[in-house]
């Protein structure tokens, strides 16, 4: 056997023999179960909803833990008008599906009036925000792909971590969770 053929053969055998160890190492780091689950309407995946502000409750439906970080989906029930600051996610696409009520959702330079049954998509690195408009309860499903650290961020906010933070500290908290503030919340004219 020629020397070059022998080296190629050795590399191929070495790769073949180490493949099970590579696959096994990857599967040990994954926590995804090989079974489905159901989350009832008005319930949280772990029976512990997240309350961000008065009248704003998040119910995790598909957790970051369920997907090894591939996605995070939650239902947001909102009472008060308004919404978050204009922000940009570094690595997550975000989408909104309106279940009930009406929202203004801004993605880039375009603002959409989204009503029950409408879907709006916001690609990563494009500034976006949304605001509930109108009286009464409104609901939407929000998804992040990949999940990033959004679920962790919402839990921390719910636990009051940002209560006494300065604006700079809040900005740093956002950046540590994969997004940043790029402008004020969406404003609109009440009719």
Residues 57, 118 share a domain: yes
Q: Is residue 191 part of a domain?
A: no
In tens digits, what is the pLDDT along the chain, a chain of 191 residues?
565 555 555 555 555 544 444 444 444 456 677 889 999 988 989 888 877 666 688 899 999 999 999 999 999 999 999 999 999 999 999 999 999 999 999 999 999 999 999 999 999 999 999 999 999 999 999 999 999 999 999 889 888 888 889 999 999 999 999 999 999 998 764 44
Residues 158, 104 share a domain: yes
Work out the number of other CB atoms within 10 angstroms of the CB of residue 58.
21
Residues 162, 92 share a domain: yes
Q: Which domain holds residue 1?
A: 1-30
Q: Is residue 38 part of a domain?
A: no
Residues 23, 55 share a domain: no
Task: Decide: 32 and 66 in contact? Cβ < 8 Å.
Answer: yes
Residues 63, 25 share a domain: no
d(CA 84, CA 94): 14
Element (H, E) at 4: helix 3-29
Q: Is residue 167 part of a domain?
A: yes
Residues 54, 129 share a domain: yes
Residues 70, 16 share a domain: no
For residue 164, what is the domain's CATH number? Answer: 2.60.120.10
Q: Closest Cα partner for 37 from 77, 57, 67?
A: 67
Residues 77, 14 share a domain: no
pLDDT attached to residue 54:
61
Tell me the whole-structure pTM to 2 decimals.
0.78
Residues 102, 17 share a domain: no
Residues 15, 92 share a domain: no
């Amino acid at each position: 056997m020629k020397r070059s053929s022998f080296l190629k053969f050795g590399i191929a055998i070495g790769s073949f023999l180490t493949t099970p160890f590579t696959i096994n190492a990857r599967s040990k780091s994954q926590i995804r179960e090989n079974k489905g689950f159901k989350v009832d309407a008005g319930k949280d995946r772990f029976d512990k909803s997240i309350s961000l502000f008065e009248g704003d409750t998040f119910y995790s439906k598909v957790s970051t833990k369920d997907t090894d970080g591939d996605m995070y989906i939650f239902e947001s029930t909102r009472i008060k008008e308004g919404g978050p600051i204009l922000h940009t996610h570094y690595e997550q696409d975000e989408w909104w599906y309106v279940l009930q009520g009406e929202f203004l959702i801004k993605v880039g330079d375009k603002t959409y009036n989204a009503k029950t049954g409408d879907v709006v998509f916001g690609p990563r690195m494009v500034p976006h925000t949304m605001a509930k408009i109108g009286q009464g309860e409104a609901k939407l499903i929000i998804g992040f792909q990949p999940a990033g650290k959004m679920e962790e961020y919402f839990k921390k906010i719910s636990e009051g971590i940002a209560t006494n933070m300065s604006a700079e500290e809040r900005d740093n908290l956002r950046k540590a969770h994969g997004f940043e503030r790029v402008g004020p919340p969406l404003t609109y004219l009440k009719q």
